[in-house]
């Protein structure tokens, strides 16, 4: 009986270790993907700043530091005005959505008790 209990415990522990390793691997992949999407979104925003600054006079140009919601909305408005067919806003939005999806899935994987 003791041997059967020990074997049962070992099987359950092996399953638990596999599950924890699998969760850790999924979490690592999601964090890396979310980081890559966030970096790509930032690089896209800097490309937007460079494109808009090339068309604006010097006093109205955007600085690369100190971003907030009002400055970002002004950049998007200027980009749409100067480049009506530009694709950088859509690209940045898709990349940001992918980043937040990865963050949400990471939280889901870490919170779910399985």
Q: Contacts for 49-57 with beta carbons within 8 Å, 24 or more apart? A: 49/75, 51/79, 51/82, 51/83, 51/86, 51/88, 52/78, 52/79, 52/82, 55/82
The whole-number pLDDT of residue 49 equals 96
Residue-number span of the structural domain to which 27 is assigned = 2-111
> pLDDT over 90 for what percent of the chain?
71
The whole-number pLDDT of residue 53 equals 96
The whole-number pLDDT of residue 17 equals 74
The whole-number pLDDT of residue 69 equals 93
CA 77/CA 54 separation, integer angstroms: 15
Is residue 62 packed enough to be buried (19+ CB in 10 Å), middle (13-18) or exposed (0-12)?
Answer: buried
Domains identified in the chain, total number: 1
pTM reported for the whole predicted model: 0.79
* Average pLDDT value for residue range 88-110: 96
For residues 30 and 109, the answer to whether their CB atoms sit within 8 Å is yes
The whole-number pLDDT of residue 98 equals 98
CA 39/CA 96 separation, integer angstroms: 9
Task: State both tokens at 43.
Answer: 């690089």
The whole-number pLDDT of residue 95 equals 98
């Amino acid at each position: 009986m003791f041997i059967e209990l020990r074997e049962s415990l070992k099987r359950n522990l092996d399953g638990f270790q596999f599950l924890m390793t699998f969760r850790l691997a999924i979490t690592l992949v999601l964090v890396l993907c979310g980081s890559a999407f966030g970096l790509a979104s930032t690089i896209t925003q800097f490309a937007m700043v460079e494109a808009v600054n090339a068309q604006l006079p010097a006093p109205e140009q955007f600085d690369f530091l100190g971003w907030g919601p009002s400055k970002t909305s002004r950049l998007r408005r200027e980009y749409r005005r100067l480049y009506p067919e530009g694709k950088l806003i859509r690209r940045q939005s898709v990349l940001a959505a992918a980043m937040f999806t990865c963050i949400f899935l990471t939280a889901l994987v870490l919170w779910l008790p399985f």
